[in-house]
Amino acid sequence: MQSKIRRKVILLHTIVILLGLGIFAYSLPGFPAVSLAVIGLFAAAVTSSRLLDIQLPQGGRLNIDTAVILASILLFPLPDTLVITILGMFASMLIRQVKLKFAATLYPLSLKIITVFISTNIFYALGGKPGKIEPLLGIISLLLLCGVYSVIDLGFDQLTIAVNRGTRYMRGLVSSVRFLGPIYLSLSSLGILLSIMYKGMGYWGMLLFFLPLMVTRISFKSFLDIRKIYRKTIEALSNAIEAQNSNRSGHGKRVANYSVDIAKEIGVRGRELELIGYAALLHDIGMLGVDEDSLDHLLEQVSAQSGEAPHALIGAEVVEQVDFLRDAADMVRTHHYPIDRLKRPDDIPLGARIINVASRFDKLTKTDMLDERLTAYQAVSRIKKEQGMRFDPKVVRALITTLRKQGKLMEYVK
Amino acid sequence: MKPVLPWLEVAFFALLIFITDSFTIPLPKKAFISVSFTIIFATILLFGPWAATIASVITVFNLSDIKHKIPRYKMVFSACNYVVSAFAAGHIYTLTGGTTGRIVASDFPFIIIPLAVSCTIFFITNTSLIALAVAILYGESAINTWRYDFQWLIPNYYALGVLGFILAQIYTSTGPASIILLVVPILIAWQTFGVYMKLKGAYVDTVSALVQALEAKDPYTRGHSERVAQYAGMIAHELKLPDDRAEILRYAALLHDIGKIGIARKVLNKPGRLTNDEFKRIKKHPEIGAGIIGDIDFLESAIPAVFYHHEHLNGTGYARGLSGERIPLLARILTVADSFDAMTSTRSYRPSLSPQEAAAELVACSGSQFDGGIVRAFVNTLNISLEDRHFETGEIQLKIAIEDPA
């Protein structure tokens, strides 16, 4: 498994680097069309905007150099843009003191070269010309340039992640386009703006341009930061609460991980996925502060018939107090409901059905009594026996698929 | 003689004002804000006060207000507000020597004065009219509303002003298309900022919901933090603390025991004496709590209150053993509120005191454990509420206690 991924990574790197270098050599004739001072200025702008990149929650970084690179595509011929991009990126690597290993340095540079090359050529094919910006008449070529550039840029990022981690490509791309679409739209507008400002105002335009760029960056970054802190704090608190009962330690976080994986497998995205994650993290919050002795007592009260559990009701009350998590409260309340309780399983929120399965799986595989602890395979077969009554078969199937993908079921399947 | 306005261009800017004004963000109190100030300011710089005044009329149609079914009179009010503010800011701008149209290098640095004055006047007119309206409608103090909802906006307003100036400059040198290109990222940044504000609110909600849930399990502490917040609020009111400080105090009070979340219940509720080791663990909770909220930028000012809420005035408390004035004011308030609630509620190791007894105890310990000024303020407000509830003995006992501080 690991070696397979490694081979894929090496293959990808080789292809990309060869392609990038080839394109660069092919495009270079004609350089330089503008003065070296201008090229240096734009490269410096690429460098400084790259140094202002933002760490993304799902891994990777968001570079705001998109605006500057788009502007130089619009202003200068292709060879100059390529040199600007490469110089700027390389300088930012030097400043960051990244270890300049051969492949690790050339790979991102080559990806950028390919991105710039393809989107610029599409722009030219649609009648766009560098140095001649018509925001109203040439709107289609401008839109396509920005759109194609953004999608390729995001697509390459996702490709790298997908190959390195062995995850699904298209799904990652769709969610990253949804999540980062608005900021790329901002950066694209700013790129066109910079080209117009530079043409009309010269160096002043360049200087003034950095204010709106910074405004965009600050608002996006503070949004990401507070999201991260929010999740981290809830995790930390739920951990601290669970720490009081040794056999529950880490249960919430593990169930959250399983639930998010299952939900992704079923095709849940965006806000609902986020809510399922929070609901799973907090699903047993109603038990918090209960001592071990009385905890068992509470657990016994979970009626197999109705699925009503006091801790679920209390937990839902807690979660309900938070406006932002209101829709998660229902999932917490119904997370022990057996699906045959109602005629249609859809009457129980999907999140609740997922948490039900994930929590059961975690309890079977991570229980404190060693002689009762099951392997993943045994746990899945036990859960399967109850599907259709207690558990939603669709969710159980998704659990099996995710476990298999992560290699956790492999060794038991003969 | 007044020059004729370039109507088409003014109409274009009016359209931009309309668009930006439709993206509003709710503020903690009743007010909403948008970035339309940027465009109005640019209109002043480009076409003068009258153009900006006329263009501002368009804010009477506000998509977000229509969507949220805001009553008509409020929409008219906010439009009039913009018109008045644009009028005032525009005329101040020309009166102090600002020129309209393209600004050239030789205008610097004197152009900065009219720019800054005009920006300030717009901000003051606009926000104080809103604060006044909120005060009249909801019966709150106008100054408090202003401080709470608008004071922190001052730097943001100047940033928007600079943005408006840049917008005007870009317009004179490159035309309308680039303005649209600038407005798109500004609006997206604005919306993101709105989500950020929402998450900020959610954060405090969530953490205090968890604290309350934790307390609810235990009959001895049920509602403790909520009550401490209430007492702290009463003290803040009596001491005439500004609203923003009082708000931080409320956060600190709601979250002051969050550090106890990791301490085993058996230790917390142990009847009888704690061992040295157990006491050491309990003494850690202010530090743990401050660490938990330490990551959040907007709770930064609440950290000292949480960290030092077990300090005594004479320096015998924990976590650092500070004394006197060196203990932050909010922490000193929190100690009084916390102790009062602890004394008036039953604990596993002792029965509860009556409010009178607890107040007398606070007074007795002023100077050594508590800040006398804060205790006096608290007892004053308590006295009123005790009378309201017809406690027969309360008044006399309290009076004796205050006249004779031990």
Q: What is the pLDDT of residues A368-414, one digit of tens each?
A: 666 777 888 888 888 888 888 888 889 999 999 888 888 777 654 43
> At the topology level of CATH, where does A244-405 sit?
Hypothetical protein af1432 (1.10.3210)
User: What local confidence, expressed as pLDDT, does residue B298 receive?
Assistant: 72
Instruction: Please report, rounded to a whole number, the percentage of residues in chain A having pLDDT higher than 70.
Output: 88
Give the integer Cα–Cα distance in Å for A23 and A120: 13
Q: Which residues of B touch A240 (CB under 8 A)?
A: 261-262
Q: Is A300 exposed, middle or buried (0-12, 13-18, 19+ CB in 10 A)?
A: exposed
Q: Is the pLDDT of residue B6 over 60?
A: yes
Binary contact (B169, A201; C-beta < 8 A): yes
According to the model, what pLDDT value does residue A343 have?
A: 57
A357: closest CA among A258, A272, A285, A277?
A258
Average pLDDT of chain A to the nearest whole number: 84
Better-predicted residue by pLDDT, B298 or B194 = B194
Is pLDDT of B9 > 60? Answer: yes
Q: What is the structure's pLDDT at B310? A: 93
Question: Does the pLDDT of residue B385 top 60, yes or no?
Answer: no
Question: Which residue is it, tokens 């390919």?
Answer: A114
The sign of the torsion formed by the CA atoms of A371, A377, A379, A381 equals negative
A301 DSSP 8-state letter: T
Concatenating the DSSP letter of every residue in A250-305 gives THHHHHHHHHHHHHHHHT--HHHHHHHHHHHHTTTGGGTT--HHHHHHHHHTS-TT
Q: Is the pLDDT of residue B67 over 80?
A: yes
Q: Where in chain B is the domain with CATH 1.10.1760.20?
A: 7-200
Query: According to the model, what pLDDT value does residue A414 have?
Result: 39
Give the number of C-alpha atoms closer than 13 A to the C-alpha of residue A173, restricted to the C-beta side: 14
pLDDT of residue B28: 65
Residue A117 has pLDDT above 90, yes or no: yes
What average pLDDT does this structure show over A253-273?
A: 88
Query: What stretch(es) of chain B map to CATH 1.10.3210.10?
Result: 218-403
**Phi and psi of B4, rounded to 5°?**
-70, 140
Check B177 against A136: CB less than 8 A apart.
Answer: yes
Size of interface A-B (CB pairs under 8 A): 165
What b/e sequence results for A325-346 when a residue is b if at least 16 CB atoms lie within 10 Å of its CB, and e otherwise?
bebbbbbbbbbbbbbebeeebe
Q: Which residue in chain A has the smallest CA separation from B264?
A: A244
User: Contacts of residue B177 in chain A, CB cutoff 8 Å?
Assistant: 135-136, 196
pLDDT greater than 50 at residue B390: no
With a pLDDT cut of 70, the percent of chain B lying above it is: 88
Query: What is the structure's pLDDT at A135?
Result: 66
pLDDT score for B404: 40
Looking at residue B397, its pLDDT comes to 41
Long-range contacts of A298-302 (CB under 8 A, 24+ apart): A302/A336
Residue type, A230: Y
Q: Which of B174, B195, B209 sits opposite A196 (nearest CB)?
A: B174
Domain boundaries, chain A: 2-226, 244-405
Between the two ends of chain A, the Cα-to-Cα distance in Å is 17
pLDDT of residue B335: 94
SS3 B347: strand
> What's residue B402's pLDDT?
43
To test the contact with chain B by mutation, choose from A75, A189, A229 the residue with the greatest count of B C-beta atoms within 10 A, namely A189
Give CATH for domain B218-403. 1.10.3210.10
From A10-24, A147-161, B203-217, B347-361, the region with the lowest mean pLDDT: B203-217
pLDDT at A233 over 90: no
* Whole-complex ipTM: 0.72
CA distance A130 to chain B (A): 17
Question: For B37, how many CA atoms within 13 A lie in the half-sphere containing its CB?
Answer: 30
Report the alpha-carbon angle A149-A151-A154, nearest 5. 105
Q: Answer yes or no: do B202 and A189 touch at CB < 8 A.
A: no
User: Is B295 within 8 Å of A233 when comparing Cβ atoms?
Assistant: yes
SS3 B364: helix
Interface contact flag, B195 A223, Cβ < 8 Å = yes
- Report pTM: 0.73
Q: Does the distance separating the beta carbons of B218 and A324 come in below 8 Å?
A: no
Q: Average the pLDDT over A88-110 and give the result.
A: 87
Residue B105's closest chain A neighbor by CA? A204
pLDDT average, residue stretch A305-327: 79
pLDDT value at A292 more than 60: no
Highest mean pLDDT of the ranges A316-325, B98-107, B298-307: B298-307
DSSP state of B171: H
Contacting residues for B49 by C-beta, under 8 A, at least 6 apart: B86, B87, B89, B90, B91, B93, B94
- DSSP code at position B58: G
- B217 contacts on A by Cβ (under 8 Å): 288-290
Task: Provide the pLDDT confidence category of residue B355 given band limits of 50, 70 and 90.
Answer: confident
| Paired strand residues for B33 | B25
- Average pLDDT on B313-340 reads 90
pLDDT for position A304: 55
Query: B196 vs A196: CB contact, 8 Å cut-off?
Result: no
A314: nearest CA in chain B?
B213
Q: Which two tokens stand for residue A84?
A: 């600007």
Nearest by CB to residue B170, choosing from A197, A318, A321, is A197
Nearest-CA residue of chain A relative to B289?
A237
Q: pLDDT band for position A85 (50/70/90)? A: very high
Provide the pLDDT for residue A323.
76
Per-residue pLDDT band for B120 (boundaries 50, 70, 90) equals very high
Residue B9: CB atoms within 10 A of its CB come to 16
How far apart are alpha carbons A191 and A149 in whole angstroms? 12
pLDDT of residue B405: 39
- Minimum distance, in Å, between the CA of residue A196 and any CA atom of chain B: 7
Taking an 8 Å cut-off on Cβ atoms, the answer to whether B184 and A220 are in contact is: no
The shortest C-alpha distance from B323 to chain A (Å) reads 31
Question: What pLDDT is attached to residue B10?
Answer: 92
pLDDT the model gives residue B94? 93
Does the pLDDT value for residue B400 go beyond 50? Answer: no
Q: Which residue has the tokens 């969710």?
A: A395
Please give the share of chain B, as a percent, with pLDDT higher than 90.
28
Is B177's CB within 8 Å of A196's CB? yes
Residue B399 pLDDT:
41
Token pair in block for residue B328: 């932050």
Cβ–Cβ under 8 Å, residues A64 and A75: no
Q: What mean pLDDT is reported for chain B?
A: 83
> Of the candidates B337, B354, B334, B333, which has an alpha carbon nearest to the alpha carbon of residue B345?
B354
B202: chain A residues, CB-CB within 8 Å: 230, 322-325
Instruction: Please give, rounded to a whole number of angstroms, the shortest distance from the CA of A121 to a CA of chain B.
Output: 23
Q: Which amino acid is at B404?
A: D
Assign B50 to helix, strand or coil: helix
Position B389 confidence tier, pLDDT thresholds 50, 70, 90: very low
The pLDDT tens digits for B131-155 are 898 888 888 788 877 877 787 788 8
> How many angstroms separate the CA of residue B170 from the nearest CA in chain A?
7
Cβ atoms of B278 and B286 closer than 8 Å = no
CATH for the B7-200 domain, from 2.60.40.10, 1.10.10.10, 3.10.450.50, 1.10.1760.20:
1.10.1760.20
Q: Which residues from A are below 8 Å from B296, CB to CB? A: 226, 229, 233
State how far residue B184 is from chain A, nearest Cα, in angstroms: 6
Q: What is the mean pLDDT of residues B392-402?
A: 40
Highest average pLDDT, of A197-211, B304-318, B341-355, comes from: B304-318
Q: What is the pLDDT of residues A175-224, one digit of tens each?
A: 888 888 889 999 999 998 888 888 877 887 888 888 888 888 888 888 88
User: 3-state class of B366 per DSSP?
Assistant: strand
Quickly count: other Cβ atoms within 10 Å of residue B391's Cβ: 17
H or E element, residue A303: none
Pair A115, A22: CB distance under 8 Å: no
Rounded Cα–Cα distance for residues A160 and A179 (Å): 18
